[in-house]
Structure 1
Amino acid sequence: MATNTGLEVPPDSPVRVGMEEKIPSQSEEATSPFNDQTNYVPVKTIITIFLACASVDLLALMDQTTLAASLTIVSKDLGASSESAWIAGAYFLTSTSFQLLYGRLSDIWSRKVLLVVGIGIFFFGSLAASLAQSALQLIVFRAFMGVGGGGLMTVAQMIESSGDRFLWGLLSSRQFYAPRPEIFKSKLVNGAALTMFVNGWNFLVQIYYIPSFYQLVYGYSAVKSGALLLPITLTQTLFSTLSGLVVHWTGRYRECLLLGWAVWAIGLGLISTLDSPSLGKQIGYELLAGLGLGNTLQPSLIAVQAGVERKHMAVVTSTRNFVRNLGGTLGLAISGTIINNAVRHSLIPYGLSRSEIQLVLDSPDLFRESFGQERTETIRAALTSAYQQGFRVIFVVGAALNAVAFIAAWFMMPQVELNREDDAQLKAEGKMRDEEKRKKTPKA
């Protein structure tokens, strides 16, 4: 039905422009879907949607991995090595804060609009960060990037998982209902939240601190350190895809999750034992970590969405990502504090003043001129040992957290049925809409 806005309002919509609005009763409100945007579409359309959403994911992940490889160089050039955790964490702090907001707004307005807005904010924040002349400017602009980045992967995952009946209608609207608290009473949702907190913690810690470990302890270049992230990132991508296919074929996600947490704990534990450069061990241990990480990503998303009603899928998706980013933000900050404290403690026996210790922390490769050759070599040896000890602690903590996540997944994430009762009906409706669209489309 056409309205004076030029948009079509679905007949089941509680909002009818230019007409009397029907207020739902309490019983209707209790069962009314929260802007259900599920839409079954043809395979060609699905491929197009997934490619578009994948490009958005690529944009967000490139920001994380490229900075991870160059974080030590950027921090050193800005004289802010002790603040490197904030350079990385500022983005995730604001990203985490705005993630739930994106999830809620996407249920009220068009998800396409929210996604485009997020990309725009991310672009201008990235441009400003590239022109930063000080550590403070970089931290502020990275935080601004996070405002947009909070919606990139979250909204993309919502589009992939539910579709969007009003994807292109900015002015189309639905009545807004407060989120139901019962989703937080679900053992599966709580288990997913706990395990995703650990996932975010360890994912960002290993992405940002493994290259720093190689540079500060082994003296590797930024290029070599970044290249040594490939075993994790490529394996993670491969097994994230494979685990999603396994869940699709078998209808079970529990085994993938348990395997992932167990293997990831072993991988991080082995990384903590690296005492000397060994390319074989480095690659092998990282392959284990990537395999484990990949098996905890897609299955957890499928599980948490299957554990709630369809109307709550957007809420639990954004909540999952919120908790994951929260864990990553805290992990970066706490790990940076652990490393800095280890370095400070190691320098106390050398009689350095606070300003000298701060110089070492801010520019570990630029203190030679201040201390002289002989003293510098002594301090450098102490620094290498301190950094190695600090990195070992954060990797051991990560392995322990993965073990906790394994236990949580075992007891709190039972297997549930993935198929819904209305799937067949929605597929039939989607097929009918596609056929009607083809009939209306003039043939060339």
Structure 2
Amino acid sequence: MTRRLIYWLYKSTQVRFKRRSSFSIFVMTVESFSVGVRQDDAAGTSAVVLQPVPSGAVSLEDDEDEKTSMKTVMTPPHHGLTDQTNFLPARQVFVIFCGLSVALACAFLDQTIISTALPRIASDFHSGRESSWVATAYLLTSLSCSPLYGRFSDIFGRKILLLVALCIFIIFSLGCALAQSMIQLIVFRALQGVGGGAITTLVLIIMSDIVSLKERATYQGVTETVIALAQGFGPVIGGLFAEYTTWRWTFWINLPLGGLALGVCLWLLPLKKVDGEIRHKLLQIDYVGSLLTITASVLLLLGLTWGGVTYSWSSAAVLVPLILGIALFALFLVWEGKFAKLPLVPIRVLKNRTVAGVCISNFMNGMTFFAILYYIPQLLELVKGYSPVKASLLFLPFLCPISVVVFCSGQYCSRTGRYRPLIVFGYGLWTVAQGLQCTIDEHSSLGKIIGFLLITAFASGFTFQTALLAAQAAVPRHDMAVVTGMTGFVRTIGSTISLAICASLVNNTLRGAVAQLGLSAAQVDALVDDPTIVNHLDRLSLDDAQKAAVIAGYTKGFKRVFYMTVACMGVAFFACLFMVEQHELVREDDEELKRQAKEELDLKKRAERDVKSDAVSEIPALEKV
């Protein structure tokens, strides 16, 4: 009973701080049934020292080695937010990792599962011009809310926010499955993205909390493998649903998967208490910055999506959103740098060369990866004439090898501590691979397409988790969650802008190609609104020459998409070459934090055993009564 009381006092006693040497400590002395606290109000950061128990007192440990003083290192508090670093033993990390992988797979599967079903969705709703918003709306809300979720997890705790995100994701997946119009589907996809983006951000933040930086390379390698597999099988599953059942199953499938993820995270993920006054912290959330970035993103995407398709590029409907969007992004940066108490994107972090280089490369990475993810399957369907299932199967040579390369690069980083050579090599080779893709047309052989996709997969695998590792290694521990959210934020905004630009490139190029064919306005609208009609051009009463011109128009549009990706990869390569630096992956306090986590776990287990033993010992007494 005394041990349980001491453990409870140890966990619940509120302490103040005492400055010592280069950091501050507080001392808690356990004597018999009391806890003494030496304090000094001039505290800045904290650590715990449990000093030896005086003779006659009750010790927390039984052997001599465990009676020595124990030190607890804590990261300096940042704006009053609790440091949630909680390094865990390998066995417990593995169990938690299983739950996080289920949640992560659920979110990333939903990013790609509609890529092969998108032409069928556009055909069912007769809304080809708006179909790109099914993907764009999801990414838009994902990027807008991901920094906010990062800060909310600092306040309420990682587990609570992850469970909320999973609930949001499941509810609006149901809404998407029941949508009766393109507008409804786009709205529900946007709300679904609020949960999906949070899942992605929170899982990466939780991994940085429970695993040291050097070991993180291995775990993040496995995480990226899970992502690659989810994204790889997404188009296959979406193609099967689109061809043999209905595209609505691309959303129905989220209900059992999301429910499984919710249950696993609820039971397996430990909850670390977050101290502090909630009301005070809520007032520090950067609501103005969130509103500015959401509004700016929406305006930019409206202008890019409408340009040349719904309205001409010189029209006010296109120019006004673009100008306002750019102006609001500039205002957002000014607000974050000068006025925000707890900024979503701390400008001081962007002054770090490595972080800035990773953000630039991640933005270009998002633009390129999602252009490939959505437009290679469409090229195979619309230009080569393959079915959705065959197109998705032919896309696997791009998605599946990524998992192998990512895992191997994670092992390399974990063993050697070096990540910079992999990043530079990866982006250099990826630039070449995108140049090769520009040669693909309607006459390209299947072997040529698959070969180029394999090179692209091999190159891109070197850039994913290594870039995140570089950014995390370049900042102090208290900035880890912010930087993790920021790198995901810029990658997602790159993805979102890329899809809008690519849709404009393809649709505008197609309109220009068919303008010389003398088609009626109704025929042109039919081509744009229902992309799958390109495989059934007899419905439009076109002759062979006109059919060839339409396919050539699509081919030219896809080529322009690939030209854009070459430029993006070139910028990413030079940003990494000149800005990303090599940093040590081992921090001075890593071993101490691991030891603390083990001691806390041992204390918890000992308390639980004492409770059970006391309960068992009280049974005979109760029987006598």
TM-score by length of 1: 0.90
Residue among 141, 148, 151 paired with 1:101: 148
Aligned to 2:433: 267
Aligned counterparts of 1:11 and 1:352: Cα–Cα separation in 2: 78
Tell me the distance in 1 between the aligned counterparts of 2:127 and 2:11: 55
1:286 equivalent in alignment to 2:333: no
Q: What CA distance in whole angstroms lies between the structure 2 residues aligned with 1:91 and 1:385?
A: 31
Q: Does 1:255 align with 2:421?
A: yes
Local SS of the residue matching 2:456: helix
Structure 2 equivalent of residue 160 of structure 1: 207
How far is 1:10 from its partner?
7.0
Closer/same/farther in 2, CA of residues 232 and 417 from structure 1, 3 Å limit = same
Instruction: Pick the aligned partner of 2:98 from 48, 51, 76.
Output: 51
Q: Which has the greater radius of gyration?
A: 2
- Contact in 2 for aligned 1:7/1:172 (Cα 8 Å): no
Say which SS state the counterpart of residue 418 (structure 1) adopts. Answer: coil
Residue by residue over 1:96-122, the C-alpha shift from the partner in whole angstroms, topping out at 9 and shown as x without a partner, is 100100111111111111111111111
In structure 2, which of residues 151, 154, 172 is the aligned counterpart of residue 125 of structure 1? Answer: 172
2:464: which partner in 1? Answer: 297
Structure 1: distance between partners of 2:538 and 2:560: 31
CA contact (8 A) 2:120 2:532 kept: no
Q: Is the 8 A contact 2:128 2:529 kept in 1?
A: yes
- Match of residue 32, structure 1, among 77, 83, 107: 77
Alignment match of 2:600 (pick from 419, 433, 437)? 433
Change in CA separation of 1:432 and 1:384 when aligned onto 2, cut-off 3 Å:
same
Tell me the distance in 2 between the aligned counterparts of 1:24 and 1:322. Answer: 39
SS of match in other structure, 1:69: coil
RMSD value, Cα: 2.8
Q: Per-residue CA shift, 1:296-319, capped at 9, x if unaligned?
A: 111111111111110010000001
- 8 Å CA contact retained: 1:113, 1:170: no
* Post-superposition CA distance 1:214-253 (Å, at most 9, x none): 0010001000111122111111122122211111111011
Does the CA-based 8 Å contact 2:433-2:456 persist in structure 1? yes
Letter in 2 for 1:209: Y
> Which residue of structure 2 aligns with residue 86 of structure 1?
133
Tell me by how many angstroms 1:356 deviates.
3.1
Q: Could you tell which deviates more after superposition, 155-164 or 88-97?
A: 155-164
Residue 28 of structure 1 deviates from its aligned partner by 6.0
User: Identity across aligned pairs (percent)?
Assistant: 36
| Deviation of the 1:279 alpha carbon | 2.3
Partner Cα separation in structure 2 for residue 380 and residue 369 of structure 1:
9
Structure 1, unpaired ranges of 5+: 15-21
Q: CA deviation at 1:79?
A: 1.3
Residue in 2 that maps onto 1:207: 373
Q: Tell me the number of residue pairs that the alignment of Structure 1 and Structure 2 aligns.
A: 431
Structure 2: how far apart are the matches of 1:410 and 1:348?
Answer: 44
Separation of aligned partners in 2, 1:419 and 1:133: 53
Q: Does 1:332 align with 2:435?
A: no
1:300-359 deviations in Å (ceiling 9; x for gaps):
111111111100100000011010000000000000100000001011112234443222
User: Partners in 1 of 2:147 and 2:455 — Cα distance?
Assistant: 32
User: Which residue of the other structure, out of 551, 576, 581, is the alignment partner of 1:409?
Assistant: 576
Structure 2 residue 406 is matched with structure 1 residue 240: yes
Match of 2:364 in 1: 198
Structure 2 distance, partners of 1:368, 1:299, is 46
Q: Deviations over 1:126-148 (max 9, x none)?
A: 11111212211111111111111
Using the TM superposition, give the Cα deviation of residue 184 of structure 1 relative to its aligned residue in structure 2, in angstroms.
1.9
Tell me which amino acid in the other structure corresponds to 1:50: F
* 2:82 and 2:275 in contact (8 A); partners too: no
* Aligned counterparts of 1:294 and 1:43: Cα–Cα separation in 2: 26
The letter for the 1-side match of 2:518 is: G
Give 1:187's match in structure 2, choosing from 338, 346, 353.
353
- Cα distance change on mapping 1:327 and 1:368 into 2, 3 Å: same
CA distance in 2, matches of 1:23, 1:383: 78
- Asked if the contact 2:87–2:210 (Cα under 8 Å) also holds between the matched residues in 1, the reply is yes
Q: 1:173 to 1:379 in 2, by over 3 A?
A: farther
**Structure 2 residue 586 is the aligned partner of structure 1 residue 419:** yes
Asked whether the 8 Å contact 2:16–2:43 carries over to 1, the reply is no
Conservation of the 8 A alpha-carbon contact between 1:56 and 1:152: yes
Q: Which amino acid is 2:130 matched to?
A: E
Q: Which residue of 2 aligns with 1:19?
A: none
Contact 2:16 2:40 in 1 (8 A): no
Partners of 1:125 and 1:377 lie apart in 2 by 44
SS in 1 for 2:583: coil
User: In structure 2, do the counterparts of structure 1 residues 24 and 147 end up closer, same or farther at CA, with 3 Å as the change threshold?
Assistant: farther
The alpha-carbon deviation at position 82 of structure 1 amounts to: 2.3
1:276-308 CA-to-partner distances (Å, cap 9, x unmatched) read 242222222111111122111111111111111
Call closer, same or farther: CA 1:130–1:46 in 2, change over 3 Å. Answer: same
Q: Do the aligned residues in 2 keep the contact of 1:35 with 1:311 (CA within 8 Å)?
A: no
The Cα of 1:369 is off from its aligned counterpart by 6.8
The alpha-carbon distance between structure 1 residues 293 and 9, as it changes in their structure 2 partners (threshold 3 A), is: farther
2: distance between equivalents of 1:98 and 1:136?
A: 21
In structure 2, what is the Cα distance between the partners aligned to 1:24 and 1:31? Answer: 15
- C-alpha displacement of 1:47: 0.5
Aligned to 2:187: 140
Secondary structure in structure 2 of the residue aligned to 1:434: helix
33-42 vs 401-410, greater mean Cα deviation: 33-42
Q: Distance in 1 between matches of 2:461 and 2:104?
A: 15
Equivalent residues of 1:73, 1:222 under 8 A apart: no
Alpha-carbon distance in 2 for matches of 1:344, 1:338 = 10
Q: What residue is the counterpart of 1:318 in the other structure? A: 485
- Asked if the contact 1:111–1:167 (Cα under 8 Å) also holds between the matched residues in 2, the reply is no
Closer/same/farther in 2, CA of residues 154 and 378 from structure 1, 3 Å limit: same
Equivalent residue number for residue 17 of structure 1: none
Kept after mapping to 2: 8 A contact 1:9/1:172 = no
Report deviation, 1:167.
5.0
- CA shift in 2, pair 1:377/1:13, >3 Å: farther
Secondary structure in structure 1 of the residue aligned to 2:585: coil
Structure 2 residue ranges without an equivalent (≥5): 18-38, 47-74, 212-268, 285-341, 614-625
Q: CA deviation at 1:9?
A: 4.8
CA distance in 2, matches of 1:10, 1:391: 64
Q: Give distance in 1, aligned partners of 2:545 and 2:10.
A: 73
